[in-house]
Structure 1
Amino acid sequence: MCSFTHDSAAALLVDGELIGFVEEERLSGVKHTRAYPERAVAWLLSEAGISSEEVNAVAYNFHGLHYLKVVPTALGLALDPATREFAGRRAASFTKVGFRTLRRVHGLRRRFPRARIHPLLHHRTHQMYAFAASGWESAAVLVVDSLGEAQTTTIALGRQLQPGQPALRSLYELTDPASLGYAYGAVTEHLGWRRGDEEGTVMALAALGDPARFRDLFADAIPITPTGFSLHPAYFAPRVLSSSFTRLTPRFAAETCSRRAGDAPIGQVHRDLAAALQERTEQVMLHLAGLARTRTGMKRLCLGGGVATNCVSVGKIVESGLFAEVFVPPAPGDAGTAIGAAAAVHLESGTSPLAGVAGTSYLGPAFPGQMPEVTGLTEHQIDGDVAAFLAERLADGQIVGLFRGRVEAGPRALGNRSILASPLIPDVVARLNDTVKFREPFRPFAPMVTTEHAADYFTLGQESPFMSMASGVTELARQRIPAVVHANGTTRVQTITKDGNPFMHAVLTAFAGRTGIPVLINTSLNVKGKPICGTPVMALKCLAGTGLDALLLEGRWITR
């Protein structure tokens, strides 16, 4: 279970089989909610046909006592005049959060009266999910995030002892304040976007800037070392676990720019700052991947943690050739640790192998036969093949919301809660940003492509089923589908197999039959600031309040 911090989510294993997983925001409509995942748990128990009294183990994705490890080093800041003011507050904040976490774990006992509650080290849950979801026999596992108790970066060696029995051996760690996620979030906030939510906007903006302007600053602020990296306290203030404390120092602002208000114009200085931050992030991630390769000797890499959602950095690792293959699970951030925590606790019991975790992303609720009344909208009958019908409408230039099957895991819509459009529509990116998504005009859109034709358009060289990697593009893509190519010459591609998503594969095939192009634009079924639509009611509201032409809702064609 992931709860009480951000991205609340729940997963359920019964005799080692993953029954399901869903993020609470997909059901509540509150993005990044930290509330106890009431709706998610209720759905999982209903899906399994059990009650909370029948649950015998609850795995929680943080361990309160490990926060206290930061306290001695926090007090050590008092020896340096530059960090003295943070020492006591940092120590007090980690102590407070540690004991608050212990209380929250204790509170779970009231919800599951017959269960044993298992608090787990946060990075262990990331590691377990990333490796178990890969299905590989062995791999290096690299987790990079903002903070898990004290850890911020870890490397582990993953092996399958027997089929369905993934095991991990931790080899390396960096602890706070050496945190790449902390640094990226701090600059995201400085640039006027929400930390913990809109880092992807900064990554997109980076393509429009010149990193040379602040390259030397970030080399000083985030120095790379033989054992990893660090954060220079002259630029990044030591972390205090309170939203009232700034993460950046006055020196950072003096040497870059003042903090931008969220509604202020975006200037070249903001583009350049984003570009330099992104460039340094890529350099650090490549360095960490190299350490993972050296320390494990593995030819495959699993990535987890919030920084693993930085698809451009992941693409750089793939392109480097350090590993024969790279895997990022569909929910690499904290939500996915609900699966990792459950898997770790189950495997400790040794009762049965783990099943249903590897290679899956469509894990949440489906709503067959539970369609709400369509009020103020028009429903049309679809005659014949639904996939061919949808492909024809897309080829005609319509922008369509798609709601079908089980909710995807993770931050990317993967064809079940998507907005689809033809990459051949003139000004399609502007139309999507302006009238459908209501977001910044520089934000790019991702393509989905049938796996068998991916190499014709994209240079990634491996499958990317969860839209987690930025890829270079071929000359054919530049000529035929420039709408999906970002300013930096890359795109975040999703590859679709017939087995992985038969319906979307059929749509892409039918679209190719009409246009000659087996590629569609795929973005999430939501608007800026809202979570992906997890319920039919949310999807209908999205249709009613945006410039979507239609919504395909479980086989029903609905228009305004």
Structure 2
Amino acid sequence: MNPLTSIPSHRSHAVLGLCSYTHDSAAALLIDGKLEGFVEEERLSEVKHTRAYPEQAVAWLLREAHLLPEQVDVVAYNFHGSLYFGDLAALPLHLGSGPALERARSFAKVGLRTMRRVRGLQSEFPNARVRPVRHHHTHQLYAFAASGWDRSAVLIVDSLGETQTTTIAAASCAGGGGPALKQVLTLRDPASLGYAYGAVTEHLGWRRGDEEGTVMALAALGDPARFRELFERIIPITAHGFTLHPAYFALRVLSSGHKRLRPAFAEATCLPRRPEEPLTEVHRDLAAALQEHTNQVMLHLARLAQRRTGERRLCVGGGVATNCVSIGKIIEAGVFDEVFVPPAPGDAGTAIGAAAAAHLEVSSLPLTGLTRCYLGPEYPAASIDMVRWPSLVEKPVDGDAADFLADQLAAGLIVGLFHGRVEAGPRALGNRSILASPLRSDVVEKLNAVVKFREPFRPFAPMALAEHAADYFTLDQQAPFMSTASGVTDLARTLIPAIVHANGTARLQTVTQVDNPFVHAVLAAFARRTGVPVLINTSLNVKGKPICGTPAMALDCLAESGLDALMLEERWFTK
């Protein structure tokens, strides 16, 4: 691994940002305001959505920066435990109500536990000031700073941060200083769109907090009219946002054993589906109505953000920001001139936001490096003992690596690509990807059935040369982080129907030579061979496992799946 930028002897402070103990653990390191590195723990531990302390991520960051734990000046944590108590008065508690009291106790318990965990970090970093940061503030700061803009509205929509669920702020960098955020709207639990979407995901037989994207894909196959009126009633849109109907959604109790939906929801829709049960029309229709109403709520929130801030640009963060269909609807509506979603909009990215917040409290140095997405470990000269993979063979790469890979893809091979630094966030952005030709008639079926081992209705996203994307996609802004669903042109429907989902969209990634020179070269070489500057890009993993962050994980993926080959840096592995 190549070391990160050397630490200057005059550095003012090192800030370590942590997302830990909830889900999607991650760590980020800022030196004098510069983001030196970031990685999600799952990419190293192989435990998807791990909630453990990000031990390996922290060790990598400190090792690469030549720091000892006692040299860390500030540890910033992405939740603020005491705020669970300060906000209890705003919770809808009713004396004599068992569920409400149980809910209050759970919030108090989590608040105390969070405070203990923050104090525990002091023993790991004995000379550091440990700074808890309000969860939505970490989302807001990261989403805005990652955009590189001078000003914008910021919309955060997730399941829960302390007791906040939805916030809107006006952000600016007036006078060249650090970002300033002015809060203009706050919704608190139980008004939570993330809570509702996760509850219905679970009702449909998938894991909430993990497989909401599967429900979003299924929605394209259903008819929303069947349950349209129901969702309008149970998630009503209001002048100040939205609410959840208490007859259908149970009060949140911060414990995994508590159900989120009341019996009235099943009576109005269908019985809960077990994961092994077949999908029926009612499941598809329920997903379609949920997604349609989510789009409407998100668009309403975007309009509120525009009216209350007067800004012409919008940054969106939080777990619901990963819903690329809703983001696409906001862009299509033209409410803002441009919409930005950072590469890690969910909780993992709050490690960066927490570190940024702590840095700005004590330093006037500007934040830098937050607009990048390739921030994790790289392995340019990894020594690999192939004894563990007796079925794999290494073969020489003939000539230029990008040209060689393009040849293999044009010939119809499905190839894993492990190249450069690990990207941030839930989308593979070319450095830990599975690539395939969109010209193969059977490519979607094969990818789902024998490579990814996932549901046959799930689509695959395209990556395209940014300079030619308009020929195939209707999106009128760049999409470097694969965060939005775009309409497609007639040319795309004719030449590459494999990348078009049932709803007529594709989750697009645009690639420039500056952002990713190697992948840009592969796309250009593929275009020279086929006439099409587009490839299918999905994450280098199989269902249920995290994106491969290490060479060993990538070789396991090749050995255990239907991948034809793996390019690991400029080495070529086949079976």
Deviation at 1:65, TM superposition (A): 1.0
2:9 is the counterpart of 1:9: no
Q: Distance in 1 between matches of 2:135 and 2:31?
A: 22
**Secondary structure at the counterpart of residue 552 of structure 1:** strand
Q: Distance in 1 between matches of 2:368 and 2:211?
A: 34
The unaligned stretches of length 5 or more in structure 1 are: none
Deviations along 1:271-292, one digit per CA (max 9) or x if unpaired, are: 0000000001000000000000
Match of 1:505 among 514, 517, 520: 520
2:382 maps to: 370
2:9 maps to: none
Contact 2:93 2:104 in 1 (8 A): no
Contact 1:394 1:422 in 2 (8 A): yes
**Secondary structure at the counterpart of residue 342 of structure 2:** coil
2:14 maps to: none
2:6 maps to: none
Q: Structure 1's 15 and 73: CA in aligned 2 closer, same or farther, altered over 3 A?
A: closer
Paired amino acid for 1:211: P
Q: Distance in 2 between matches of 1:548 and 1:13?
A: 37
Q: Distance in 2 between matches of 1:72 and 1:16?
A: 36
Q: Distance in 2 between matches of 1:124 and 1:74?
A: 20
Deviations along 1:49-89, one digit per CA (max 9) or x if unpaired, are: 1111000101100001111245335462347xxxx331110
Contact 2:218 2:284 in 1 (8 A): yes
Greater displacement, 341-350 / 216-225? 341-350
Q: Distance in 1 between matches of 2:165 and 2:487?
A: 29
**Secondary structure at the counterpart of residue 435 of structure 2:** strand
Q: Distance in 1 between matches of 2:95 and 2:438?
A: 57
1:176 maps to: 189
1:72 maps to: 89
Q: Distance in 2 between matches of 1:264 and 1:169?
A: 48
Paired amino acid for 2:529: R
Deviations along 1:75-120, one digit per CA (max 9) or x if unpaired, are: 62347xxxx3311100000000000000000000000000000001
Q: Distance in 2 between matches of 1:315 and 1:450?
A: 20
Q: Distance in 1 between matches of 2:180 and 2:26?
A: 23
Deviation at 1:337, TM superposition (A): 0.3
Greater displacement, 465-474 / 66-75? 66-75
1:37 maps to: 54
Contact 1:206 1:275 in 2 (8 A): yes
Q: Distance in 2 between matches of 1:37 and 1:327?
A: 28
Deviations along 1:304-334, one digit per CA (max 9) or x if unpaired, are: 0000000000000000000000000000000
Deviations along 1:405-458, one digit per CA (max 9) or x if unpaired, are: 000000000000000000001210000000000000000000000001010000
2:455 maps to: 440
The TM-score, its normalising length taken from structure 1, stands at: 0.98
Q: Distance in 2 between matches of 1:352 and 1:74?
A: 39
2:431 maps to: 416
**Secondary structure at the counterpart of residue 491 of structure 1:** strand
Contact 1:74 1:88 in 2 (8 A): no
Deviation at 1:172, TM superposition (A): 1.0
Contact 1:448 1:521 in 2 (8 A): yes
2:178 maps to: 165
Paired amino acid for 2:430: G
Contact 1:126 1:336 in 2 (8 A): yes
Match of 1:57 among 74, 77, 83: 74
Q: Distance in 2 between matches of 1:113 and 1:179?
A: 38
Deviations along 1:132-157, one digit per CA (max 9) or x if unpaired, are: 00000100000000000010000011
The unaligned stretches of length 5 or more in structure 2 are: 1-17
The TM-score, its normalising length taken from structure 2, stands at: 0.96
Paired amino acid for 1:516: G
2:206 maps to: 193
Deviation at 1:350, TM superposition (A): 2.3
**Secondary structure at the counterpart of residue 93 of structure 2:** helix
Match of 1:450 among 456, 465, 471: 465
1:516 maps to: 531
Match of 2:480 among 445, 452, 465: 465
Q: Distance in 1 between matches of 2:465 and 2:95?
A: 57
Q: Distance in 1 between matches of 2:98 and 2:407?
A: 64
Contact 1:164 1:355 in 2 (8 A): no
Q: Distance in 2 between matches of 1:75 and 1:283?
A: 26
Q: How does 1:90-169 map to 2 (within 5 A)?
A: 90-163=103-176, 165-169=178-182
Deviation at 1:19, TM superposition (A): 0.7
1:245 maps to: 258
**Secondary structure at the counterpart of residue 356 of structure 2:** helix
Deviations along 1:515-559, one digit per CA (max 9) or x if unpaired, are: 000000000000000000000000000000000000000100000
2:234 maps to: 221
Q: Distance in 2 between matches of 1:174 and 1:73?
A: 11
Q: Distance in 2 between matches of 1:317 and 1:97?
A: 35
Deviation at 1:512, TM superposition (A): 0.5
Paired amino acid for 1:533: C
How large is the RMSD of aligned CA atoms in angstroms?
0.9
Q: Percent identity of the aligned residues?
A: 69
Contact 1:448 1:495 in 2 (8 A): yes
Q: Distance in 2 between matches of 1:243 and 1:168?
A: 33
Q: Distance in 1 between matches of 2:228 and 2:160?
A: 25
1:353 maps to: 366
Paired amino acid for 1:171: V
